[in-house]
Amino acid sequence: MSKSLGGKLICEEFGFCSIGKLQKVQIPENLRKRLGFVTDVIKDKRKLEEVLHPIFVLLTHSEGFGFNRVVFFVVEGPELKNFFALGPRDHVEGLDMYSRLSKISFEDCLKNVEATLNDTSKLRELFETIRLYSKDAKNPVCETIDSGNCCILTYTRAKDERAYSILTTFGSTALAIVPMHLEGLGVKALFLVDNVVTLSPIERSRVDILSKVLDVFKPHIERAYLFKVIEEKDETIRNLRSTIEEKQSHIIAMERLNIARELTSSIVHEIRNPVTIIGGYASKLLRLIEDGNMESKSEMLKEIANAMYVNSLRIDNILRSLDDLNATLKARKIRLNICYLARKVVKEMTRKFKDLRVHMEIPDTPIYVEGDPVQMAKFIENAIINAYEASLEKEVKDPVVVRIKKEDSHVDLTIEDKAGGIPEDILSRVYEPFFTTKPHGSGLGIPVMLMIAKEHRATMKIENTGVGARVVLAIPERLEVINGEDSSSR
């Protein structure tokens, strides 16, 4: 029972009716035609909004079911989440909206999506503020979801607080709820329809037909919801990947900063020594000049000049190595044929060092990695020089071996010699900047190689083989182009 007061409907008594098992009904001919038209429109749609909108037009247009508004809810955790809504927020807004939309045909409403959505954007915002809990035993909506039965909430002589709560929440005098279980996705949803404008009752036969029609649309809704889930997962993966890359970039930057700090301290120490020696000899040379009689001191002058020259070479080697190190901070990664690059470096080095002999175990077929060609060439060059100089020192005639082998998820680049290996007490220190056993070495060759390995997210190890030493670079195999095209695929 209800009464009108100053044009406002006052609700006095409410009731809840669960329909239970649906009656066998036939879809009227006019609805069947509209049903076929909507099915044709949504059959190739992937976005859930693009599927729901034509369905909602069918449910709300006067040439369809003629309900005043419809809302689609999905159970997410403990709450019912409003995903899509069509219709006015209240009775007054509905009168204005339907006076305009009544002049638009069913087909034009389907085509004019933007205008319809603009009209209903506020409704969706309103329903997003309504919180319904899917586990509330007192809520008839929850009973409908669990039972799978449709229900109608309306006025009755037997007052029902559960119906009162839902009707006042939505500002309705009567509404119907049709559950939909998307079994393939394990998702529970529901459609809520009411007549907030016309205030007309909702008949059971109409809800039976509505349920049957929604069953026809169910596979399309299920498909679109699946695409929605996939897109959300993809977005989550993209965000995680972006976060990981950001963290990795931060870690690399911190590593570079720490290395830079260590190098700064080492550079000051390493350059100060030869500069001090050169300064000392220059001071001694000045005193000799001041004393006169230079001819009798020719041998001493030669010794001074030689010491100054040797120490200037040491400074030059250090500065050259610093240039190499600086180059590792400017990587330009492309799709790189590592086999071609290795052959090219070997060819150039055998021209430069006439007595260098290299045995290559490199496949004829291209093997691609993501890498900077300048840095990777420098890595191969440094490794070959180390093996070559060790062989010269031990007077070993065996060639340096350059090997490339493709593994399951990475590519192994190996350079090895047969020069007896590295003493164990030295092996643990070879990665230290400026540590060297060579008379004119800079001690930066291997640290530069290590920086190149880290820049390429590769792993590098130096080990003894029993007859010599070996350096192995395990490079991740990636086929995508990052910053450019392959320049080493010929």
For residues 40 and 6, which has the higher predicted lDDT (pLDDT)? 40
For residues 127 and 314, which has the higher predicted lDDT (pLDDT)? 314
Alpha-carbon distance of 263 to 178, in angstroms, equals 71
When the pLDDT of each residue in the chain is averaged and rounded to a whole number, the result is 77
Say yes or no: 229 and 368 in one domain: no
Mean pLDDT of the region 100-119: 66
What's the DSSP call for residue 297?
A: G
94 within some domain: yes
16 pLDDT exceeds 60?
A: no
Residue percentage of the chain with pLDDT more than 70: 69
CATH number at residue 138: 3.30.450.40
| Cβ(333)–Cβ(370) below 8 Å | yes
3 pLDDT exceeds 60?
A: no
113 within some domain: yes
Which one of 236, 255, 277 terminates a domain? 236
**Residue 250 structure tokens:** 């931060």
340 pLDDT exceeds 90?
A: yes
For residue 90, report the phi and psi dihedrals to the nearest 5 degrees: -150, -175
Alpha-carbon distance of 435 to 452, in angstroms, equals 18
13 pLDDT exceeds 60?
A: no
Q: Which domain holds residue 411?
A: 331-476
Alpha-carbon distance of 362 to 338, in angstroms, equals 9
380 within some domain: yes
pLDDT tens digit sequence for 80-91: 777 788 877 777
Say yes or no: 161 and 44 in one domain: yes
Which one of 194, 219, 236 terminates a domain? 236
Say yes or no: 24 and 138 in one domain: yes
For residues 32 and 314, which has the higher predicted lDDT (pLDDT)? 32
472 within some domain: yes
Mean pLDDT of the region 49-53: 89
Q: What pLDDT is attached to residue 254?
A: 60
Q: What pLDDT is attached to residue 482?
A: 39
| Cβ(123)–Cβ(86) below 8 Å | yes
What's the structural domain count of the chain?
2
- Pairing relation of β-strands 187-194 and 69-76? antiparallel
For residues 205 and 131, which has the higher predicted lDDT (pLDDT)? 205
